[in-house]
Structures are given as C-alpha cells and as structure tokens.
Structure 1
C-alpha cells in the first residue's frame, strides 16, 4: 500500500469511503456518480491503489448505467420492474461488500461488472 494519505486519512479508510460514496444517490440523485469520480480524480495520480479501486468502481458505475437502461426498456414493455428492484438491491449489497473489503485491504471486483478500464 502506498504511503500517501489521501484527504489526510488512512488509505484503507479512504478506499472504504470511496466505495460507500456511490450510495450518495440515496440523498441526491446523480451524486452517486459524481462523488466517487471526484474522490478518485483528486487522488489517483498519487496512489496506484486508489487508481486501481477507482477504475474498478468506475467500471461498476458504467455497468450499472447500462443495466439500468436495459431494465428501463424492459419496464416499458412490462416485464422489468422486478429486475430493476433486484438491480438496486444488488448495487447496494455490492457497494457495502466492496467497502468492507477495501477497509480490510482487499481488492474485490464487483461481480457483473463490465471491464471498460483495466
């Protein structure tokens, strides 16, 4: 792990908050995409560990956007509401697991994530 202390906190704590920042959409719609990107963008050049987690989170967010569009189309045709509810639950569960693992110093890929960035 790098010696860099992002935002003046331990790296594992920062990584946990980076994962949890995706839940900002509960308070402000759209913030779940903006907050993690800001956190990652302001620190990624100083830490390879943060850059690695940030890319993985960004991959998950883009994947989730694609899945949401597909679910919305399925809702329009009348068969996707349960899929959308399931996707929302999976998102929250994956974020919490990712945050716990990051706090323990473990890198964990979000299942179902499409790898746009490596």
Structure 2
C-alpha cells in the first residue's frame, strides 16, 4: 500500500535545483513504490532535468560558435529554476507536476 508523503515529493522537485537530475533520480528510484504519486512526479522531474541538460549543451555549443548562446543562457537559467519550484508547489497542493518542453526519456 502506498502512503502519501507530500514533503518527499516537494523535496524531490527542490533537490533538482541543487543536484540536477541526480537528486530526483535517487529519490524516485528508492521511493517510487512506497510514496503515492512519486512515480508520476519523479518521471517528470527526471525527464525535465535530462531535457535541460541537452538544452544546455546546445546553448553552450552555439555560445562558442556564434555567441547567441550567451544571449539565451540567462533565459534558460530562469526556466531551469522556475519550473521545479512550480512543480514543488503543485506537489504540495496534490496537483500534477508542470514541466513544459520535456522530452519523455522515461515513460
């Protein structure tokens, strides 16, 4: 039987701010069969972080080639920090996570 633990869901989303995909991956793999909604929130958080890693590589590549990446980088940073916070708030309010522009690596 799955138990409800909103604080762990919130922690998983917030951990992405400090550890990229590693924090959500560790929490998701150890708690997905124990915590209600952990599977859904974990997959979305990990997919978002991996997608953002790809975006970062592309932005850095274009930054070194034609400097447009350096213009895009600040907007990417805002994007990278805002949506885990929004998803943490959603987790606390029993709503699904919200991460736009996500490639579904884990389905």
- 2:49 maps to 61
The match for 1:22 among 2, 16, 20 is 16
Cα distance in 2 for partners of 1:87, 1:99 equals 19
**Which residues of structure 1 form unaligned runs of 5+?**
5-9, 25-30
CA shift for structure 1 position 3: 4.3
**Which residues of structure 2 form unaligned runs of 5+?**
none
What TM-score results when the alignment is normalised by the length of structure 2?
0.89
1:76-115 matches, within 5 Å, as 76-77=64-65, 78-115=67-104
Cα distance in 2 for partners of 1:60, 1:42 equals 19
Instruction: Calculate the aligned-residue CA RMSD, in Å.
Output: 1.6
Cα distance in 2 for partners of 1:63, 1:48 equals 25
Cα distance in 1 for partners of 2:103, 2:11 equals 22
Cα displacement string for residues 68-99 of structure 1 (whole angstroms, at most 9, x for unaligned residues): 01101110111111211111111111111010
What TM-score results when the alignment is normalised by the length of structure 1?
0.82
Question: What's the secondary structure of 1:21's corresponding residue?
Answer: helix
